[in-house]
Structure formats: C-alpha cells, structure tokens
Amino acid sequence: MGVVNAWVWWLAAAGALGIPLVITAMPEFGMCAIGAASAAVICGFGGSIVLQVLVFAVVSVALVAVVRVVANRQSATAPGLRTGVEALKGRQAVVVERVDGRTGRVKLGGEIWSARSLDTARVYEAGQEVDVVDIEGATAVVL
C-alpha cells in the first residue's frame, strides 16, 4: 500500500464517520470525521502512521471536548425572549372589575382581559394588583 492509498483510506474513514452523523444527528461522529480528514492531510504530506493516528486522536478528542463545553453552556441558558401567552405569565395586572373564582376583569399589558381567581375563595376588588399565574383561553388566572 503506497502513500497515496493511505490518505484515501483516511478520507474513506472520514466519509464513513459522516454517515452515522447524518443518520443519528450525533455531532461526535462529525468531529471524528474531521479528525480522519486531518490525518489524511498529514498522510498526504508524508507523515508516519504513528503521526497520522496521533493527529486523528488529538483532533477528534479536542473537538469533542470544545464542542461539549460550548453545547452545555448554550443549553444551560434559558431562552431570553418569551412571546405570546408565555410572556404574560408572571406579570402583574390591575383589577378593573371584581375578580372571584368565576368572573372578573383585569388590565394586563395595556389590554382588558377576563379573569378569574386561582383560589376560588379569594376575591380581588378593583384597583388591586394581582399576579398572572396562567392563561386559559382568553382568561387570565390570577393570584
């Protein structure tokens, strides 16, 4: 097997590692594929088999380590923008009409919403501030 054939084998390994990347969506396979492509480059420049395997291992492990740190940091941060109904939960509203366990109205986000009390025994009078805990259809559930 000549030098040319060895780099072709590394590229075939890179392609073979790309297949499970696409099928399973596991980025580790892609990073190993980049490591195999790096080994093919080293082989093309005449590097020894030991150097090729070392480059493959170092590049693959380094990519996995770096990408995992970035991915963990990214997944740990909560989404910064809530929209729609989710954006209204947790906000304060002002009671416009008496709110009890069944009916009432509050001013929420500049709009008048129908509302009901989360605790059916509680009653909120006009002018009181309440917290919105949920939105059920077009009704704000307040506490």
What are 2-52's pLDDT values in tens digits? 545 788 999 999 999 989 988 887 888 999 999 999 999 999 999 999 999
The SS3 of residue 138 is: coil
Measured distance CA(107)–CA(88) in Å, rounded: 12
Measured distance CA(118)–CA(72) in Å, rounded: 37
Reported pTM: 0.53
Q: What are phi and psi of 96, to 5 degrees?
A: -100, -45
In this prediction, residues 120-142 reach a mean pLDDT of 91
pLDDT for 82 beyond 90: no
Quick one: pLDDT at residue 132?
94
pLDDT for 79 beyond 80: no
Measured distance CA(60)–CA(62) in Å, rounded: 6
Across the chain, mean pLDDT equals 89
Quick one: pLDDT at residue 4?
57
